């Protein structure tokens, strides 16, 4: 059924309570625009497939996204789009123009989406230009782009409010077991605070915290701490784009045949950033990419070595697929993956149309392989057995690589401080965690299984 032949009330009568609902093609076409590109010339690309439409990052209005339907890599397609423009607008200024399809989240679709959250525990939404900003912030959302056979789809998983209550309850119970000196009210306030701040993370980390095994809760906590350790919330005047991406949401990159290592060998996060200097280069766009691995538990050289191995495997793989000098037949697919990641990232620019068009024009260079990436790696360790806040920092090079990594280490005082609301951070004291509890503490499946074997 679609909105063309069924009213919203009919939908409500037809729908019952469900565990999960899939909602596809949520956006509607509201028209076609032509935008001046300011390009001097167009050269047909030798990387032509997959032939997909590219979303533009700088939206002009709420619940509106534009998607470029120009196919510049094909001379005939490009010439046809220019011909149509001049037929429709013969008195426009002479230049090269891009054809954009305008997609909107209509009031009716918005109302249905809100209704689905009332009758279903989980809502999975799929569309080519789906955006996290279309959702209410209180819904826990997992978002990934580049899904589908040609990497043309976005997928969002959102939840009913009761899921948040389930996570709070599970988190409260876990915090009571770890920090035994905290009273029940403190645990409740910490759990509520952590779930509220989880909007800074990709929601997949939050959703996985519902896993019956405690290691997913620990992984969620270390991920939340990483936001503070890396100052992800800090926005400088030079920042244009920043996205802190959970690689758990991008398993389609790492499926069998694309990465020799197991899925568990990938790092936790990829931090992508572009500053104003990165946009000023004439021929390319410059991107800063930082791979992040988080470890939490009892201080252990094994955890450190494993984290470094994950960073090495991750950077080796991602460098190979996001390689501007690649000559592989599928390079356009991977360039499109990188482009979509940045297109759906938080953008820190003014509402000036010139700033928006500069960003659009610069990001589109990625599709043609006109980009540079500065790779970095960070290992964050949070040791529960250290009565300190900040333990130390060291900088080393990855094995067989010129890429450096920074190991930042934090103690239990830092952990407690940043898991509590601001008004509860005074008078924090070290908690001597039960020996059995800390020995079996794990923040991933492998460590959990190893601990279970030892016990």
Interval 287-330: pLDDT, tens:
999 999 999 999 999 999 999 999 999 999 999 999 999 988 88
Quick one: pLDDT at residue 32? 81
Average pLDDT, the chain: 83
Token code pair at residue 293: 């691995």
Strand stretches in 105-209, DSSP E = 120-127, 142-147, 153-159
User: What pLDDT sits at residue 11?
Assistant: 63
Distance in angstroms (rounded) separating the CA atoms of residues 321 and 335: 8
Identify whether the C-beta of residue 217 lies closer than 8 Å to the C-beta of residue 195: no
Give the residue-averaged pLDDT of 95-120: 85
pTM for the full predicted model: 0.86
Predicted local distance difference test score (pLDDT) of residue 296: 93
pLDDT: which is higher, 338 or 346: 338
Predicted local distance difference test score (pLDDT) of residue 10: 66
pLDDT of residue 204: 67
Higher pLDDT, 132 or 447: 132
Strand 18-24 versus strand 64-68 pairing type? unpaired
Task: State the pLDDT confidence band at 454, using cuts at 50, 70 and 90.
Answer: very low
Higher pLDDT, 357 or 258: 357
Encoded tokens for 236: 């400088």
Residue 356 above 70 pLDDT?
Answer: yes
Per-residue pLDDT at 177 exceeds 50: yes
Q: Which long-range contacts (CB under 8 A, 24 or more apart) does 48-52 make?
A: 48/73, 48/74, 48/332, 49/332, 50/150, 50/151, 50/152, 50/332, 50/333, 50/336, 51/150, 52/150, 52/151, 52/152, 52/336
């Amino acid at each position: 059924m679609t909105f063309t032949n069924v009213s919203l009330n009919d939908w409500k009568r037809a729908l019952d309570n469900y565990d999960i609902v899939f909602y596809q093609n949520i956006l509607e076409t509201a028209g076609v625009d032509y935008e001046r590109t300011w390009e001097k010339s167009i050269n047909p690309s030798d990387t032509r497939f997959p032939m997909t439409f590219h979303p533009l990052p700088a939206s002009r209005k709420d619940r509106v996204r534009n998607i470029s339907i120009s196919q510049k890599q094909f001379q005939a397609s490009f010439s046809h789009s220019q011909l149509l423009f001049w037929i429709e607008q013969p008195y426009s200024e002479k230049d090269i123009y891009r054809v954009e399809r305008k997609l909107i989240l209509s009031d009716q679709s918005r109302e249905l989406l809100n209704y689905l959250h009332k009758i279903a525990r989980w809502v999975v939404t799929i569309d080519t230009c789906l955006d996290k900003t279309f959702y209410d912030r209180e819904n826990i959302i997992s978002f990934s782009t580049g899904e589908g056979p040609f990497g043309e789809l976005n997928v969002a998983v959102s939840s009913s409010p009761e899921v948040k209550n389930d996570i709070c309850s599970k988190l409260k119970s876990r915090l009571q077991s770890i920090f035994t000196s905290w009273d029940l009210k403190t645990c409740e306030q910490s759990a509520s605070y952590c779930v509220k701040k989880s909007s800074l993370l990709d929601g997949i980390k939050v959703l996985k915290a519902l896993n019956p095994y405690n290691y997913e809760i620990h992984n969620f906590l270390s991920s939340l701490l990483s936001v503070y350790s890396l100052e992800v919330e800090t926005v400088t005047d030079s920042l244009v784009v920043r996205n802190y991406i959970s690689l758990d949401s991008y398993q389609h990159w790492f499926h069998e045949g694309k990465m020799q290592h197991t899925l568990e060998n990938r790092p936790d996060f990829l931090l992508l950033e572009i500053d104003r200097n990165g946009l000023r280069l004439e021929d390319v766009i410059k991107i800063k990419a930082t791979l992040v691995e988080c470890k939490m538990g009892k201080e252990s050289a094994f955890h450190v070595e494993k984290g470094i191995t994950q960073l090495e495997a991750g950077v080796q793989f991602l460098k190979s697929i996001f390689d501007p000098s690649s000559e592989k037949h599928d390079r356009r697919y991977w360039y499109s993956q990188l482009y979509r990641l940045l297109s759906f990232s938080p953008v820190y620019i003014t509402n000036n149309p010139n700033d928006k068009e500069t960003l659009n024009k610069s990001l589109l260079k990625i599709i043609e392989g006109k980009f540079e990436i500065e790779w970095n790696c960070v290992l964050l360790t949070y040791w529960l057995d250290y009565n300190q806040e900040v333990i130390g920092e060291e900088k080393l090079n990855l094995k067989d690589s010129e890429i450096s990594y920074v190991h930042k280490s934090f103690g239990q005082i830092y952990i407690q401080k940043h898991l509590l609301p601001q008004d509860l951070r005074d008078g924090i004291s070290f908690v001597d965690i039960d020996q059995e509890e800390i020995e079996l503490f794990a923040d991933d499946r492998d460590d959990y299984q190893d601990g279970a074997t030892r016990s």
